[in-house]
Amino acid sequence: MKRLASLTCIAVLLAGSAAAIAQTAGYTGPSALAQPAAAAAKAYTGPSTQAQPAAGAAAAAAKGYAGPSSVPLMTVKDLLDKGKDDQAVRLKGRLLSHKGGDEYEFADQSGKMTVEIDADRFPAGTTVDHNTLVELSGEFDKETFGDSSLDVEQLTVAAK
């Protein structure tokens, strides 16, 4: 009887996982990556500079707090000029292109920078492309040599 209960629990968990994977979401803007025929379930569909991996992107829903934040909204220019390593950051702008892997080019009215976004950070069921205004929250990775970047912890589609 215990074995039957365990198998039932496993079946329920697997069914829930399959439902989560079936959801599609992510960036659908320009990409320099080659677009495979089965690209419907990937997180980013915009410009890219690398060949798209054959495996589908994660489609888990990004969940979390969606209310006001005490972290002030910054511009790319201010962040790159005055930002400190590991600083909590909020930016509002657009993802211009997919650079490969989890790297995207982000821009606001003041400039451009690289942001790192895991596929599961894109909101489930929402299309994000190079025309979509987004708000990014994350941690700034300030580099002494090379390009600094933002490690995105939350991506939301912003009101215009």
Listed in sequence order, the residues at least 6 apart from 30 whose beta carbon sits closer than 8 Å to its beta carbon are 46, 47, 96, 97, 129, 130
What is the third-level CATH fold of 2-157?
OB fold (Dihydrolipoamide Acetyltransferase, E2P) (2.40.50)
What integer pLDDT is reported at residue 71 of this predicted model? 85
CA distance 44 to 48: 9
Q: Is the pLDDT of residue 103 over 80?
A: yes
The candidate with the shortest Cα–Cα distance to 42, out of 63, 21, 62, is 21
Q: DSSP label at 90?
A: E
CA distance 76 to 92: 9
Lowest mean pLDDT across 22-31, 58-67, 131-140: 58-67
Split at pLDDT 50, 70, 90, the class of 86 is very high
Lowest mean pLDDT across 12-26, 34-48, 94-108: 12-26
- For the range 61-70, what are the long-range contacts, defined as Cβ-Cβ under 8 Å and sequence gap of 24 or more? 61/20, 61/23, 61/25, 61/123, 61/124, 61/125, 62/120, 62/121, 62/122, 62/123, 62/124, 62/154, 62/155, 64/154, 66/156, 69/137
Collapse the DSSP code of 4 into the 3-class scheme (helix H, G, I; strand E, B; otherwise coil) and give the result: helix
Domain ranges of the chain: 2-157
